[in-house]
Amino acid sequence: MSLFISDAYAQGAPAGGAGGGFEMLIMLGVFGLIFYFMLYRPQAKRVKEHKNLVSSLSKGDEVLTQGGMVGKITKVSEDKDFIEIGLNDSTNIVIQKSAVSAVLPKGTMKAI
């Protein structure tokens, strides 16, 4: 037709077109396994460790809260999920058990 533009013709169908769905399912499964082992499993492990930490809190433990306060547990309320922490001799605060981020070794408060 034109001198400078060539005519375009449709190509034939590819030979292996039927296997594309199965390959997609395999890739989806691989991504699911990656998601499980890199995201879900480590987070579930951290949650389980924190639950064990919270359940093992007892009077006299020195703890670090998520707010950065260090204190000694003076009272544990089993029925309400709250604990009372003594920051020093005259200051006590009440926090939720889940706000405790770590149990410190004995004598940490004296060393600070």
The Cα–Cα gap between 102 and 43 comes to: 17
β-sheet bridge partners, residue 65 = 100
What residue segments make up the domains of the chain, in order of their start?
19-54, 57-111
pTM, two decimal places: 0.68
pLDDT of residue 14: 63
pLDDT of residue 3: 72
Strands of the sheet containing 62-65, edge to edge, are 92-96, 82-86, 70-77, 62-65, 100-104
**CATH 2.30.30, applies to 57-111:** yes
34-47 pLDDT per residue, tens: 999 999 999 999 99
Tokens representing residue 74 in the block:
């003076």
pLDDT of residue 37: 93
Question: Percent of the chain beyond pLDDT 90?
Answer: 66
pLDDT of residue 103: 94
pLDDT of residue 109: 84
